[in-house]
Amino acid sequence: MARSYAKDPKSLDGLTPEQFRVTQKNGTERAFDNEYWDNHEPGLYVDVVTGEPLFSSADKFESHSGWPSFTKPVDNTSVVEKRDFSHLMVRTEVRSATGDSHLGHLFKDGPKDEGGLRYCMNSAALRFVPVDRLESEGYGEYRAQFEESTAQIDGSSDEGAQK
């Protein structure tokens, strides 16, 4: 089933004031005071405005920054990178490709063994879809990546128990 991800007035009307400030006005939420910085559940993070899939919990890591951080997007075409010269510094802003929502920034201080990138995102720009709701919310095609990572974890646990 092909899904359409579009930004429309109805989707903007459904945003909280904080979600609107972050996604539409390029805001930043407070570190350690946001919904997903410490979320460890398996699932998919989507654009709060359009529902476009952006990041997977399989690529989330603890950056100690106070914001949810990922090593990569679920698809390189789901995000757009732009130069950001605000706050008297040069940074790389990350926006959703379809909705043009401000998501956060990209830094080069992520895990070296996974490419060295840190997509530092605002929770207010994201909606989390737990793995057990992927099908019911129309994201069933992403479920396989969680089953594969669970099988790898289960396989390594079994191997360790045999030694």
Catalytic residues: 120
Locus of tokens 């940074």: 91
Residue type for position 27: G
β-pair type (126-130, 118-121) = unpaired
Two tokens, residue 114 = 């996974």
Exposed / middle / buried, residue 50 (Cβ in 10 Å: 0-12, 13-18, 19+): buried
7 DSSP 8-state letter: -
How many CB atoms neighbour CB 119 within 10 A? 26
Q: What is the full DSSP assignment across 57-92?
A: GGGEE--SSSS-EESS-SSGGGEEEEEE-GGGS-EE
Query: Which neighbouring-strand residues pair with 129?
Result: 44
